[in-house]
Amino acid sequence: IVVHRSGNRMFVRMSHPLYSEVVNETMGHAMGRVVAGELATALTSEPMRRSDDALRAGTWQLRAGRQGNPEILLTAAAHAVRRLDNTLARKLAQAARDSGGGWSADNALAQILSHMGRFEEALGVLSDVPGTTDISVGTQWAIARSDILFWGLGKADEAERTLIEVGTAPRHWSAEASRGFMLLFDSRCADALRIGEAVLGCPDSEPRALVWAAGGAIAAAGILGQQARAQALYRRGFAVAVEHPDEHTWRMHVCTAYCVALLAMGFVNEASALAEREFQGAMAGGTKELAGVWAGFRGAVAKARGDLATAGAALRESLTLLAGYDTFRMAAPCLAEVAGAWALGGDGNRADRFLVRANSAHRRPSRLFLPWMELDRAWTQASLGDVGAAATTALKAADLARHASQPTIEAWALYDAARLGNAGAVQKRLAELASTLQGTVVTVFAQAAAALADGDGERLWHAAESFCRLGLHLHAAEVAGSANKASRSAALTKWRAAEFLGRCPHARTPLLDTTRPSADLTRRERDVVTLAAAGQSSKQIAAQLGLSVRTVDNHLSRAYTKLGIHGRDELPPALD
């Protein structure tokens, strides 16, 4: 055992966690209940000053199998929720309810069941309006019931009506903040931004309302292309979250919203830094669910960057860590993102399998993500060889985003249609969006689409450099390859195009396939350089292909010129 002091207390613990497991397994169920009861009694018989005392006491009361103090059990359940341990939180809230916890226990249990995806059970817990004149209780009931209706059952109109009935009188701002957040996921970004800013501007808004209002408004501002407003809202919301470090989900709430905003506006480098920082923090804190959330964002950012190996691994890690936790209906878009990562890597069969899972009947993605998921469908079609259908699907995604008032996402979809061969059809609309969404990636999308349509090598090079500065390496590689092909440029420029391509080595997109240096080789030149890259001599190649050594050397010389290289040693990276 290990003994250490904390203030006036002495703590005794096993020197290795496995020892505790051995003791628990060998103690027996009856003795375990007795010991847990004694520990709970000892801890609750004195003031509980440490932040995790209630969680310890509640857990021991639970294991003792006897009625406990509802107040302690609810405090313990709240601690478990902050740690995203919903299984333990549900047990504690149910114990509080069984111990006469009243409305507070009902509310806690319903919210936890909702987080766990057990929506019908949660709605049953909150079937009746609390019989009290306490305004705060009525607000909490409305928020909890609307959460179940919206996130669980997809009844957006009924959920909004439930919150509107509470109104915006003093102490009702939490209901408005929740409504704003829901409207974001219902793809009503302008309303979410308006409500969020109103709550943040109210001097008597409680901290929870400020955080939820900021979360909805930050993401909405980014999707609407409002860079300055997104940054200001993030600073405000983050400051509130930092002031309440025990509320672990508050920081996640604000930071994930800002990551969405950064991605929508195309600031991939900043989004990558944020996701990595928060992921490492979650890992250091040992919180599995928080790590799962940030693993998903790391994957989405890596996919946008073109780092497809990292994207696939991180997104699958997120799905594993968050198995059974789908509070905000993120599983479907996450599965679609995995499909998109496989598709961008050229593996259409795997992409299609993940897309089928994303679109299974029991998953109901929010309206916010429908255009994004449609783009993953487009890339899956492209990876299966139907590039024409893929371009049509990308245009459908753009139309969905336009009708859902998501201008930045519309721009992403339009530019994906350009990448799939429809640059001429989208350049006018992209130019219109760029004129109203200045300072975002949309400007670069418009420039690149126009250059692709015109085959303008110089403008394509400019777009490639702009994409690279934003962190969009796959986009940069595609237009750099197009620029290289359009200008038939010098070896130095070809080397630069190869450098862009080297940052996303697993990518296999239609535009890359038509602009890789090896695409200019004749079939016989490709046969020769493939064997040369594998280490065969000219004599061996000649014997295998039925050519003279001189003919092999002539093919190699022409291939070197087309590839912008000088010898055999440079063939493998040039052909990758």
For residue 566, report the phi and psi dihedrals to the nearest 5 degrees: -125, -5
**What's the average model confidence in pLDDT over 563-576?**
78
How do 9-13 and 2-6 pair as beta strands? antiparallel
State how far the Cα of 226 lies from the Cα of 219, in Å rounded to an integer: 10
CA of residue 136 relative to chain centroid, distance: 33
User: Per-residue pLDDT averaged across 454-483, rounded?
Assistant: 94
Name residues whose C-beta falls within 8 Å of residue 554's C-beta, 6 or more positions apart in sequence: none
Distance, C-alpha 318 to centroid of its chain: 9
Stretch 488-512: mean pLDDT = 77
Residue 136: band (very low, low, confident or very high) from pLDDT cuts 50, 70, 90: confident
Which carries the bigger pLDDT value, residue 447 or residue 114? 447
Assess whether pLDDT exceeds 70 at residue 140.
Answer: yes
Distance separating alpha carbons of residues 268 and 289, to the nearest angstrom: 24
Q: How much is the pLDDT for 13?
A: 75
Q: What is the mean pLDDT of the chain?
A: 89
* Confidence band, pLDDT 50/70/90 cuts, at residue 561: confident
Q: Residue 361 contacts by C-beta under 8 Å, 6 or more apart in sequence?
A: none
CATH architecture of structural domain 519-576? Orthogonal Bundle (1.10)
Q: What is the pLDDT of residue 167?
A: 61
Q: Is the pLDDT of residue 557 over 80?
A: yes
Question: What residue type is assigned to position 1 of the chain?
Answer: I
For residue range 367-389, what is the model confidence (pLDDT) as tens digits?
Answer: 999 999 999 999 999 999 899 99
The residue-averaged pLDDT of 46-68 equals: 80
Of 540 and 140, more confident: 540
How is 413-428 classified by DSSP, letter by letter? Answer: HHHHHIIIIIHHHHHH
> How much is the pLDDT for 564?
72
Of 447, 389, 444, nearest in space to 422 by CA:
389
Q: Which pLDDT score is estimated for 68?
A: 81
In the chain, % of residues over pLDDT 90: 54
Rounded CA separation 186/548 (Å): 68
Q: What is the pLDDT of residue 169?
A: 54
Query: In the chain, how many H helices and how many E strands?
Result: 32, 2
Packing angle of the helix pair 549-563, 538-545 (nearest 10 deg):
110
pTM more than 0.85 = no
User: What's the confidence (pLDDT) of residue 361?
Assistant: 62
Reduced to 3 states, what is the DSSP secondary structure of residue 60? helix
Q: Residue 445 and residue 167: Cα distance in Å, rounded?
A: 42
Q: What's the CA gap between 96 and 571, in Å, rounded? A: 69
Length of the chain: 576
- Would the pLDDT of 489 be above 70? no
Q: Convert the pLDDT of each residue in 220-239 to its tens digit.
A: 999 999 999 999 999 999 99
Which residues, 6+ apart, have CB-to-CB distance to 551 below 8 Å?
542
Q: Which tens digit of pLDDT belongs to each residue from 305-329? A: 999 999 999 999 999 998 877 778 8
Residue with tokens 């469908």, as numbered in its chain: 377
Mean pLDDT along residues 393-397: 98
Q: How far is CA 218 from the centre of its chain?
A: 15
Question: 171 pLDDT band (50/70/90 cuts)?
Answer: low
The arithmetic mean of pLDDT across residues 479-491, rounded, is 75
For position 282, what pLDDT does the model report?
Answer: 92
Q: Which residue has the tokens 């959460």?
A: 147
| Average pLDDT rounded to a whole number, residues 261-272 | 98
More confident site: 465 or 364: 465
pLDDT(468) > 80: yes
pLDDT in tens, 329-359: 889 999 999 999 999 999 999 999 999 999 9
Q: Give first-to-last CA distance, the chain, whole Å.
A: 57
d(CA 414, CA 375): 10
Structure tokens at 380: 């899956």
Average pLDDT over residues 241-257: 93
